[in-house]
């Protein structure tokens, strides 16, 4: 699979994916913030947030999806930096970086909508991470 067109400027494919993942992370933060604001109102959003009213099911899912991203993203960042710094980039690390980004991009709306595909999409992202990790030891 030729991913050479999947680049922003002079960035490597892995660094392009990392940059796009940062944007995805910001969308997570904004989505979580907006859904909390819409559910809880301006008074809560501008206050100390000591007593948070419960979230709707969708807003709670968005919050959990965002938390899940924040838990997994540091691992992905580390892997992409190690691949870049060590020069261990290859077709597999590139394809798995793009796969991870695709899975994490799908995960957010699929979780928010309550789809039963959520654990499968998550598994794809975890598979991509382990495949990249394996490449670092074998490449």
CATH code for the domain defined by 13-32+58-138: 1.20.120.550
pLDDT tens profile 73-114? 999 999 999 999 999 999 999 999 999 999 999 999 999 999
Nearest alpha-carbon partner for 109 in 136, 77, 69: 69
Query: What is the DSSP track for 23-89?
Result: HHHHHHHHHHHHHHHHHHHHHHHHS--SSPPPPPHHHHHHHHHHHHHHHHHHHHHHHHHHHHHHT--
Give yes or no for a contact between 121 and 129, defined as CB atoms under 8 angstroms apart. no
Q: How is the chain split into domains, by residue range?
A: 13-32+58-138
Query: Which pTM was predicted?
Result: 0.90
pLDDT tens profile 25-79? 999 999 988 888 888 878 777 878 777 788 899 999 999 999 999 999 999 999 9
């Amino acid at each position: 699979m030729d991913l050479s067109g999947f680049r922003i400027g002079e960035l490597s494919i892995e660094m392009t994916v990392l940059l796009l993942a940062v944007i995805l992370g910001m969308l997570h933060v904004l989505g979580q913030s907006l859904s909390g604001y819409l559910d809880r109102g301006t008074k809560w959003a501008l206050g100390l947030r000591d007593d948070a009213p419960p979230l709707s099911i969708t807003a709670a899912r968005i919050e959990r999806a965002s938390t899940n991203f924040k838990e997994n993203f540091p691992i992905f960042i580390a892997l992409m930096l190690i691949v870049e710094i060590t020069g261990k980039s290859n077709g597999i690390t590139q394809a798995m970086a793009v796969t991870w980004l695709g899975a994490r991009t799908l995960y957010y709306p699929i979780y928010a909508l309550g789809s039963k595909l959520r654990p499968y999409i998550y598994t794809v992202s975890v598979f991509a991470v382990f495949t990249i990790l394996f490449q670092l030891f074998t490449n």
